[in-house]
A and B are shown apart, each in its own frame.
Chain A
Amino acid sequence: MSKTLFDKVWDAHIVKQVDDGPDVLYIDRHYIHEVTSPQAFAGLEKRGLTVLRPERIVATADHNVPTLDQHLPIRNELSRLQVETLITNCRKHGIGLYGLNHPYQGIVHVIGPELGFTLPGLTIVCGDSHTSTHGAFGCVAFGIGTSEVEMVLASQCIMQPKPKSMRISISNRLGKGVTAKDLVLYVISKLSAGGGTGHFIEFAGEAIRALSMEERMTICNMSIEMGARGGMIAPDETTFSYVKSREFAPKGAEFDSAVEAWKQLKSDEDALFGQEFTFDASDIAPMITYGTNPGMGIKISSAIPDEDEVLPNDRKGLGKALAYMNFERGKPIAGTSVNYVFVGSCTNGRIEDIREFAGFVKGKKKAANVTAWIVPGSKQVEKQAEEEGLLRILEDAGFALRQPGCSACLAMNDDIIPSGEYCVSTSNRNFEGRQGPGARTLLASPLTAAAAAVTGRITDPRTFL
């Protein structure tokens, strides 16, 4: 029988099928961090269980760490305790930890691929919804809750009903100044914040094939913002050359034979998907969100929509969202004054994102009204930015690079956008209060963030290109 890419990877990991129940799925990689793991380890100990396969777990501290002065003890007592608890748990159970001040520390979804832990065809879970990022390599990767983290610690398996499949094909190529972030915000604005629920989405088509791995990760990362369990892209030469020579990836003959197996990871030509959608890349323009869920996105040249212009799902909530965001129906969004810009997160905190931002601001100056937080996704991204001369470009334009962490994406640390302020943010969620109580998030690409940072307003980056 014909199979989708998703079927192939999922089915190869089934340990047992439970009648009218979930599949018992074997997990190849388990990523953990300080916020969603402590209760799982505590639960394990309470039951008198141990970690079954510590060598399959990779740990880092990211959600709750400061992005300045990381060499100093964490000031917030609760944050410090969480990070220390992770260290204790990893030591006790023999788990590899890339914690604060380690040269490989960073956002879990940035370091996994960067270090070669994420490889095509694996099953990957993490107590974080953006685990979908790793689907860019043709992995079945999804976010789980803490009870499920405990299950995987104890058994290296998880119980999940098999999701349905969906394919989203993007024909043609993206235009100049239009990025992968715009592509995914566009798709979410068409299918809504719940449009992918219950599904694994395969992204396909010419526009997807033309993307780099960093861009593909941005797309799969945001598939959860449609409610999907995960996103996937079939591995190809772009994938193999990214993976090759990564520290923990297979080497030499082992790599070559792995590539042969990875080449099989694609949907059969006649495979059937539960749902199929096709979009044209030439219709996609720089996007920005105006509301309080990631489906509330518009082209940056558009006006704030009215009830009859939004998806049926968002109609009832539009008034509440616009009141929170202080936007008026019918008014253009471009030109809105912005005092905060955030570049970073597991969505857009990779080296290409920093490169894109730096390339744009080169030779320009940060607008006086703007506070910009540029947060690399990992220590390696930070190092590379310095080696490539990006740091110098940023500094010359009046920007500084902070230290790696999730930062203002979820504002668990001190990186909090003040109440009432707009923030053009390269992160993934524009929920009420996500970046701090009362903060108003405008999701966009690193290029659009750069345009806002130098003009102090919402600006179409293409006007500078």
Chain B
Amino acid sequence: MPEKLNIIESTACPLPVENIDTDQIIPARFLKATKREGFGENLFRDWRYNADGSTREDFVLNHKKYSGKILVAGRNFGCGSSREHAAWAIYDYGFSVVVSSFFADIFRNNSLNNGLLPVQVSDSFLQILLTAIQAEPETEIRIDLEKQTISIGETGQSESFGISSFKKLCLMNGYDDIDFLVSLKDEIHVFEEKTGRC
């Protein structure tokens, strides 16, 4: 069961690259595990490390000045494969929120099912956010899930974001879809009978 989410206040890591696909987030060769834990180690593996295992100093997660629970990334984040390992890796690394101006569908669902909040903002707000973080890495970003707002500490600039009220309820209370679906057992059975499926 995911942890309950509501207010997240943290510094952030800027990754202004567009179309970041799930093969970059977690390459296929690290999907061989049969457990959910430990994928954070290989998050952005080939951007974070050289082939010989040494760290790539030019990559944002290796910059000492950036840290925090919020990843801010370019448009069309999480495109590609359905591997939930991508959401697990980001969460396992220590992020609670990914901010982008556009998310791929499956990645968005996978995140919501794991207590990782995808916050979709406008392209212009994303630019403001990235500029603020890059100018001052200590910038605090505040995300209020109940009010559905994201705001930038010093300047107070803010924007609201969308989320279905069902998913919001799930995230704020740590519920997941499986509990709900299992509670519908009788209705599912009625559907099967009505449509000749059993």
Contacts and interface: CB of A to CB of B under 8 A. Distances in A.
Interface residues of B, number: 54
Interface string B144-163: 00000000000000000000
A20 B19 CA distance: 29
A412 B85 CA distance: 14
Contacts, number: 191
Contacts of B32: 35, 64, 76, 78-79, 81-82, 412
B28 interface: yes
A129 B84 contact: no
Contact of A155 (B105, B165, B176, B181): B181
B18 A316 contact: yes
Given A15-B188, A437-B46, A39 B34 contact: yes
A132 to B, nearest CB: 10
A148 B113 CA distance: 8
A158 B184 CA distance: 11
B172 interface: no
Contacts of A22: 164, 166
A313 B18 contact: yes
A313 B184 CA distance: 42
Interface string A26-51: 10100000011011001100010100
Contact of B184 (A19, A24, A411): A24
Q: Interface range on chain A: under 10, 10 to 19, 20 to 34, or 35 or more?
A: 35 or more
Interface in B100-128: 102, 104-106, 109-110, 113-114
Interface in A396-449: 410-412, 419, 429, 431-434, 437-438
Interface in A61-88: 63-64, 76, 78-79, 81-82, 85
B178 A151 contact: yes
Contacts of A419: 51
A353 interface: no
A293 interface: yes
A82 B34 contact: yes
Contact of A431 (B17, B29, B80): B80
A26 B17 contact: no
Nearest to B35: A39
A26 B191 contact: yes
B140 interface: no
Given A26-B197, A410-B28, A20 B164 contact: yes
Given A21-B167, A145-B110, A437-B51, A317 B19 contact: yes
Given A147-B110, A148-B113, A432-B46, A198 B82 contact: no
A129 B106 contact: yes
A158 to B, nearest CB: 8
A227 interface: yes
Given A49-B182, A145-B113, A129 B75 contact: no
B79 A193 contact: yes
A20 B165 CA distance: 6
B28 A412 contact: yes
A161 interface: yes
B84 A42 contact: no
B69 to A, nearest CB: 21
A329 interface: no
Interface in A120-174: 127-129, 131, 143-148, 150-151, 154-161, 163
A412 B106 contact: no
Contact of B46 (A78, A131, A193, A433): A433
A131 B29 CA distance: 21
A194 interface: yes
Contacts of A36: 82-84
Contacts of A160: 109
B19 A147 contact: no
Nearest to B29: A412
A142 to B, nearest CB: 8
A21 B76 contact: no
Contacts of B105: 163, 197-198, 227, 229
Contacts of B164: 20-22, 161
A362 interface: no
The CB with the most chain B CB atoms within 10 A, among A12, A38, A157, A314, is that of A157
A42 B36 CA distance: 10
A151 B24 contact: no
A320 interface: yes
A15 B110 contact: no
B136 interface: no
Interface of B: 17-19, 21, 23-24, 27-29, 31-36, 46, 51, 74-76, 79-85, 87, 102, 104-106, 109-110, 113-114, 164-167, 176-178, 180-182, 184-185, 187-188, 191-192, 195, 197
5 contacts: A21-B165, A47-B178, A145-B83, A145-B110, A147-B178
The 9 closest A-B pairs by CB, nearest first: A21-B166, A145-B84, A78-B32, A145-B110, A147-B113, A38-B34, A143-B82, A155-B181, A194-B76
Interface of A: 12, 15-16, 18-22, 24, 26, 28, 35-36, 38-39, 42-43, 47, 49, 52, 63-64, 76, 78-79, 81-82, 85, 127-129, 131, 143-148, 150-151, 154-161, 163, 193-194, 197-198, 227, 229, 293, 313-314, 316-317, 320, 410-412, 419, 429, 431-434, 437-438
